[in-house]
Structure 1
Amino acid sequence: MKLFERKQAIYKTLDERYLINGQRYKGQQYSQIYFARLHHLRNLLHSPVTNWKPHLQVLELEENKECVIVGTIYKHMKLKPSILDEYSKERTAVPLVKPHNFLHPDDHLILEDEIGRVKLKGSLLIPTDFVTGIGLALHGKKTSEGDFLVLDVLEAGLPRQIKPRAQLGEDKYVVFISGVNVGSNIFNPLQFQLFVDHVTGHLGGENEQKIASEIVRVVIAGNSIGIPQGVLNGQALTAEDQSKLIEPIKEIDILLTQLVAAVPLDMMPGPIDPANFFLPQQPLHQCLFPGASAYNTFFSCTNPHQFELDGFQFLGTSGQNIDDLEKYSSAKTKLEFVERTLRCRHLAPTAPNTLGCYPFTEKDPFFIESCPNVYFVGNQEKYETRLLQGPEKQLVRLICIPRFSESGVAVMLNLKNFDCHTLNFSADLDP
């Protein structure tokens, strides 16, 4: 049998901006991250606004006088959950809502900055398309009622692509997988073992082994460890409960050790993994993976995760930012939500309003400084992908990665031509 040598790719981590050193909470307010976001947005939009409406004043609100205002959207939502509702003495009839969606016809938009806020009117801004935290420049005029009638809208738009797509002369693949859920009721050990055997070249004939040798990296986008529900209930753990906690971690370490012995691997935390809850999630501690972490091909990463591979810029999350957008706005597909975060140049616009994040004081690390070549999101309901082209020749491969434990699907991206396809693994033995 012919032996194949695994191809290599030059890797550089760019996660430093998401690392939190010396966490502090005393005296820090979430308003500071909004101030940092608005300051960054104003600097970003200063030149475009001047070219967009050169004849208009900025931040000059006078009745029936056209002007341009720059600020952050606040969305007033009638059905938005509030912790105060649990302590309300008067229980009123609350309209039934769809699971994970809190939209209502009476929702309206407000634009705010450090000075104040104004209610937005007009048909150009549809409330269902927006969430709290998005920055915009608006052309309009103040009405006699004190509202702002929007006549035109300028969004930040796709950032510039510092590194255009490089040209490779050979096939090199990156494999994405998420939602393995080792230890949960829906985890199928055989299914994931088939994935491991395929990537490591122990499955299939000569052609399959050749393709496996062209895999230069595996990225696990969160939700790898499924802790059984009810184990962590605030009570002292019994020996049986301790075993339930430890066994999934031991099992995934064995599986990961097989992978990293053959190919470099990036391990991102997700919402159900043993990591901090808020964004950015910090790398899973290497003591959880004593076998895999012994290899220099194992990389425990942050969520969001940013890296460079053979000159290509990658940016991705484990899915919390997109899932939260779905709760408070609407779109035809998940890819539309993914694209919106690029166009507003912010990975998690709903943080900290409805999505937990660290109270940064001097920066907003979720701001997208440059346009990535690949933007991936894990733990989605189904596989979706498309190439997004920007006005300045930006080219971005958008990828929604399905939950592996439910779909048996991993995603392969060819760096040579940016083609994307799925790997389907089934452990169903029924005829």
Structure 2
Amino acid sequence: MSQETENIERTTAEYKNLSEKFTTQCADYNRQYCSIYLARLKEMEALLMERITKKWGDRFPICKLHKLAEVSYDKCVVIGTIFKDQKLKPSILKQLAEANQLTPQPVLHHFTDETDRLFLEDELQRYQLLGTLDVKKLVTGVTCALLGSDMGNGKFMVEDCVFADCRPQIEKPIFNEDVFVVFVSAMNFIKHENFISNLELFAYWLCGMVGDGDTVSRIARIVIAGNSIKTTTEKHIPTISLTSRVTESTETIEAVKSFDYFLLQLSELVDVDVMPGEHDPSNHILPQKPMHYCMFPKSSVYKSLNQVSNPYFFSLDGLKIFGTSGQPVRDIKWFSEVTDPLDALESCLKWNHIAPTAPDTLGCFPYYEKDPFILDDCPHVFFAGNQEEFGTRMVTGSDGQKIRLISIPEFCNTFQAVMLNLKDLGCDTIDFDTSK
């Protein structure tokens, strides 16, 4: 090794984990899930009032849904939560019937239909929505304010709408030199023998052994965005038992050991954040707690290894980065006509909610005081892991916020990682395909 290579020092950046609200879940399961929607509506009402004033001023009265039948406004504004009625939405009763071969069903991964209808709900009332709202682009759980007229018989004609939109954003910190963060997802170690050479190339590249040592030395952090152990789950017959438990297979245990050794290699070189994914050994419902250190006895001795939550919010030298392992984006794509994960991410910013379909079709903890999935401030980078392909876009919020959106591809299928430059938020992939 040359003297020049020996003297290269890795770039560092001041790190802060801002994900506390995702790791302090209340374990009270005695309440109904409807309380989440009430907590969400209560928090979002104040944000929506700001948008109502900004867009319509005081030209139209604001009316509660249950009061519509008692007043005679030509036009008014109502606030509530969208419910999307979908006949193709999965049902546990249908799954049980299928398991007992009573009514076989085709396997679906897209649940929209021409008969889908939108409703608006608040604490006491539900109204069917007609008019200008795009049924195909919305999902259950989105909170909004609607301008329109009561048509009678529980129907409301919508003329215009506003969403909470992006929260205020601090000014992007200035970086005088390049500082990189590498994102990777779906390493799928249960099948890693099929692409072990690609994983080795990734580790060698990070060591600076395949050239471009100056660029590699400017990598301050690696974020592994879920599904590191496996990308699919074993098929089990649906059950109504509340005490059912699935024992992890020997394959999974061996995959965790292999992943631990891989993390050991990375942690010797750079700070690594490991997020759990849908199929990783963590709690299944959101927010997912950090995977336990006892599963990684070799790598966990390094302070550079950080087991973090999903969703994950952190900052580097003041630049705020937020993302998930992809479940909310996948769910939005399943229950709407949105097909591009970047469009789903942009919609989440517009709705100011990172997981609107929870708890309707996406599992989450039964919160009843505060909804943790509401964005309190606007990040500079917003990412989603475990997507089919890489994508990126810079979007601008209603108050001039600039956000870099990133769709992180599955490494086990694309052999790609994503490298983000904090200096200018430039973003591109690094390819580790050894067959080329």
TM normalised by structure 1 equals 0.91
Distance in 2 (alpha carbons) for counterparts of 1:92 and 1:256: 46
Q: Taking structure 1 as reference, are residues 270 and 236 closer, same or farther at Cα in structure 2, changes over 3 Å only?
A: closer
Residue 31 of structure 1: which of 25, 31, 34 is its match?
A: 34
Query: Per-residue CA shift, 1:300-336, capped at 9, x if unaligned?
Result: 0000000011110010000000000011001252210
Q: What is the aligned partner in structure 2 of residue 80 from structure 1?
A: 89
- Using the alignment, how far apart are the partners of 1:228 and 1:402 within structure 2? 15
How far 1:185 sits from its partner (Å)? 6.6
> C-alpha separation between the residues in 1 aligned to 2:78 and 2:120?
9
1:295 aligns with 2:302: yes
CA contact (8 A) 2:390 2:406 kept: yes
Structure-1 residue corresponding to 2:229 = 225
Partner of 2:210: 204
Superposition pairs of residues 55-94 of structure 1, within 5 angstroms:
55-59=59-63, 60-61=67-68, 62=71, 65-86=74-95
Q: What is the alpha-carbon distance in structure 2 between the residues aligned to residue 79 and residue 266 of structure 1?
A: 38
Q: Alpha-carbon deviations, 1:36-56, whole Å to 9, x = none? A: 100011111223323433122
CA distance in structure 2 between the partners assigned to 1:310 and 1:171 by the alignment: 13
Secondary structure at the aligned position of 1:143 is classed as: strand
Aligned to 2:11: 7
Q: Is the 8 A contact 2:15 2:316 kept in 1?
A: yes
How far apart, in 1, do the equivalents of 2:344 and 2:228 lie? Answer: 24
RMSD: 2.4
Paired position in structure 2 for 1:327 = 334
**C-alpha distance after superposition, 1:148-204 (max 9, x if no partner):** 00011111112211x221111101100000000002277511111111111122x22
Q: Taking structure 1 as reference, are residues 345 and 228 closer, same or farther at Cα in structure 2, changes over 3 Å only?
A: closer
Task: Give the aligned partner of residue 43 of structure 1.
Answer: 46
Partner of 1:306, secondary structure, is strand
Q: Which residue of 2 aligns with 1:167?
A: 174
Q: Which residue identity is paired with 2:124?
A: I
Deviation at 1:232, TM superposition (A): 8.7
Tell me which residue corresponds to 1:138.
Answer: 146
What 5-or-longer segments of structure 2 have no aligned partner? 238-243
- Structure 1 distance, partners of 2:387, 2:10, is 30
- Distance in 2 (CA, whole Å) between partners of 1:182 and 1:173 is 25
* Structure 1 contact 183–228 (Cα < 8 Å) conserved: no
Q: What 5-or-longer segments of structure 1 have no aligned partner?
A: none
Q: Distance in 2 between matches of 1:383 and 1:306?
A: 21
1:17/1:236 CA distance change after superposition, 3 Å: closer
Aligned 8 A contact 2:51 2:163 in 1: no
Compared with structure 1, are the counterparts of its residues 364 and 314 closer, same or farther at alpha carbon in structure 2 (3 Å cutoff)? same
Alignment-derived partner of residue 240 in structure 2: none
- Contact 2:31/2:366 (8 A) holds in 1: yes
**Equivalent of 1:127, from 135, 160, 168?**
135
Query: In 2 relative to 1, CA 102–188 (structure 1 residues): closer, same or farther, beyond 3 Å?
Result: same
Which letter maps to 1:310? D
Counterpart Cα distance in 2 of 1:342 and 1:50: 20
Paired AA for residue 308 in structure 1: S
Deviates more, 1:58-67 or 1:212-221: 58-67
Partner of 1:102: 111
Q: Which residue of structure 1 aligns with residue 293 of structure 2?
A: 286
1:373-404, CA deviations, whole angstroms, 9 ceiling, x for partnerless residues?
00010000000001111232211110000000
Pick which of 330-339 and 296-305 moved more: 330-339
Aligned to 1:183, the other structure's residue is in SS state: helix
Given that 1:414 and 1:420 are in contact with CA atoms closer than 8 Å, whether structure 2 keeps it comes out as yes
Matched-pair contact (CA < 8 Å) for 1:200–1:263: no
What is the Cα deviation at residue 228 of structure 1?
8.6
| Conserved 8 A contact 1:184-1:228 | no
Letter in 2 for 1:156: A
Change in CA separation of 1:146 and 1:216 when aligned onto 2, cut-off 3 Å = same
Q: 1:266–1:301: 8 Å Cα contact kept in structure 2? A: yes
Residue 149 of structure 2 corresponds to residue 149 of structure 1: no
Equivalent residue in structure 1 for 2:220, among 216, 220, 227? 216
Report the equivalent of 2:241. none
Is 1:313–2:320 an aligned residue pair?
yes
Separation of aligned partners in 2, 1:51 and 1:226: 47
- TM-score, normalised to structure 2, is 0.90
Which of residues 391, 402, 411 is equivalent to 1:384?
391
Counterpart CA distance in 2 for 1:235 and 1:140 is 49
CA contact (8 A) 1:227 1:244 kept: no
Amino acid at match of 1:154: V
Take 1:230 and 1:130, find their aligned partners in 2: how far apart are those partners? Answer: 31
CA–CA separation in structure 2 for the residues paired with 1:120 and 1:245: 47
Matched residue, 1:338: 345
Equivalent residue in structure 2 for 1:52, among 55, 58, 61: 55
